[in-house]
Structure 1
């Protein structure tokens, strides 16, 4: 199934092939590109090795096109993008910005579908 991931602010596409592209910023201010798998529940990432990303680190996520910060206002550890599927149905996708925390949520028609073995971490914030 092919889906387009888009920025909630500028509504431009964020994915290339099977990856969603973000600018990430570390706590000390270092920035770089991060590619995440576009498959929900697949937590593989690719980044330039000059930007050392460590397990447990909290990153800021930005749209690479409009530079908007993609964090949600109601939880400091979640990032939000939009997903449009093959039938042109739009959903929200939220995921943890903590490196290595496997928590992703597909929100469609008021229903939350969790992905990842740590997905229970933020369910209360989404209900």
Structure 2
């Protein structure tokens, strides 16, 4: 079985060179670092260097590590970032996730189909103008 691929929506650079999604992050006090996220939607483990401190509840700006584009400019709600997922069948979907540290909210959007993941996903459900289809 092939694994899902993840791309930057700006440069279409590959964000998953191996088994983690790699993103660049900046804290409110302008500390920067790389974060590695699970490619499994709804799994919220984060790998980062011990010296890169992220506080629960703070807004973290997320950037593409390839082109450095701000991935949080996708929606008028500035707490959301977007990347692209291409599944094993070649189907492309938008993956929108919270930039609030510790908030477990991810949406997979393909056309008019919206699938929520995470215990905090209901915070943003009404932003899409539709109820998720499961």
Query: Structure 1 CA distance, aligned partners of 2:99 and 2:115?
Result: 18
Partner of 2:132: none
1:107 counterpart = 2:109: yes
Partner of 2:100: 98
Normalised to the residue count of structure 2, the TM-score between the two structures is 0.91
Partner of 1:73: 75
Query: Structure 2 CA distance, aligned partners of 1:42 and 1:18?
Result: 13
Partner of 1:21: 22
Normalised to the residue count of structure 1, the TM-score between the two structures is 0.96
CA RMSD, Structure 1 to Structure 2 (Å): 1.0
Query: Structure 1 CA distance, aligned partners of 2:128 and 2:50?
Result: 34
Partner of 1:50: 51
Partner of 1:122: 124
Structure 1 stretches of 5 or more lacking a match? none
Partner of 2:8: 7
Aligned residues: 127
Structure 2 stretches of 5 or more lacking a match? 130-134
Moved over 6 A (4+): none
Q: CA deviation at 1:36?
A: 0.6
Query: Structure 2 CA distance, aligned partners of 1:40 and 1:25?
Result: 22
